[in-house]
Amino acid sequence: MAVTNQEITEIGQEAIDSKSPAFVELESFSTKLSDEGKEEGDVIKVGVYAKNSSSDFDASTNNYETEDGGGVAYVNVELDKHIKSTFTISAQTTYFDMARMMRGAVVAVAEGANKYVYDLITAANYTEVGFTGAASTFDHVDVADLWNKAQDDEYASDERSMILTNPYYASLLKDDNLASFDKANTDETLRDAVVRNLYDFETMSSNVLATSAGALGAENLVGFITDKSAMAVATGLPAIQDPESTALVQLVSTMQAPNGLTMQFRKHTDAASGAVFGTVELLIGRQVCDATRLARLISA
């Protein structure tokens, strides 16, 4: 039996509810993840926090209304990239087939969004370097040094992230000193949990960071530390404007992850061939904010 539109909607939500690491990487930045229909070029305001300052109260001037600095500023971010993943739906497509294709498409769009954001992490935009060295030498001592840098540079203590390419993350997993947290040295789940919350950093590996502009060029990017104020990221759902396109779309559904990341699925037919397709998509934009709140990790 062919998969129904109701089943497709349920499958889409289940796909984005899954615990794929690709869905949470954008949480390293200030985000506004909109579920409204948008077009390329539309602008979304993203709140970016700056550390609050304090001052002495002056009774003579009653300076309650004198702003001390910091707080949240709203940055205009243009949705300038439309990312999609399309697959074929045939009469033979089963529920199981649809679930596999949907999950693959959702992850592909998330990874495309992550790479687009990471392409902005270059030496021109973020001059700070927190580590230089090979993956084989990267260990807990280097992360402790990065913690010290984050402290000195006043990264928000509860919003720190460290994103690494796979070889550098694997080096932490193999670090004997971190493995010693697991007394039996056999519990890989415990060891991974230690690494993921290491020295106040939410630590993640990324499958796409190694393909970003800073990694492929001469800058040798292999990771970075940040808090949310380094960059503003906005997403939205592509609005269907063309009346002819609307007539060929049989289903449009919204899929929202627990963290607010929202994508759109549309089932549509090619007018010429009659072939049916499914597309997962989103619009995204990004903007450099406080460049002092991100330090690049480089291999050389």
Our count of domains for the chain comes to 2
Q: Taking residues 121-143, report their average pLDDT.
A: 96
Q: State whether 82 and 159 are in the same domain.
A: no
Answer yes or no: is pLDDT of 70 > 80. Answer: no
Average pLDDT rounded to a whole number, residues 242-262: 81
Q: What is the mean pLDDT of the chain?
A: 90
- State yes or no: pLDDT of 178 exceeds 80: no
Domain that holds residue 99: 5-48+73-119+232-284
232 vs 50, which has greater pLDDT? 232
- Tell me: do 134 and 224 sit in the same domain: yes
**What's residue 246's pLDDT?**
64
Give residue 99's pLDDT: 95
| pLDDT for residue 185 is more than 80 | no
pTM: 0.89
- DSSP characters for the chain? -PPPHHHHHHHHHHHHHS--GGGTGGGGSEEEEEEEEE-TT-EEEEEEEE--------TTTTGGGS--S-EEEEEEEE--EEEEEEEEE-TT--HHHHHHHHHHHHHHHHHHHHHHHHTT-STTT---EEEES-GGG--HHHHHHHHHHHHHTT--TTS-EEEEEHHHHHHHHT-HHHHTTSTTS--HHHHHHHHHEETTEEEEEESSGGGSHHHHSTT-EEEEEE-GGGEEEEEEEEP---HHHHHTEEEEEEEE-TTS-EEEEEEEE-TTT--EEEEEEEEEEEEE--GGGEEEEE--
pLDDT at 281 over 80: yes
Checking if the pLDDT of 140 tops 80, the result is yes
Do 237 and 267 fall within a single domain? Answer: yes
Q: What pLDDT, on the 0 to 100 scale, is given for residue 180?
A: 63
In a domain, 212, yes or no: yes
pLDDT at 244: 60
Q: What pLDDT, on a 0 to 100 scale, did the predictor assign at position 241?
A: 63
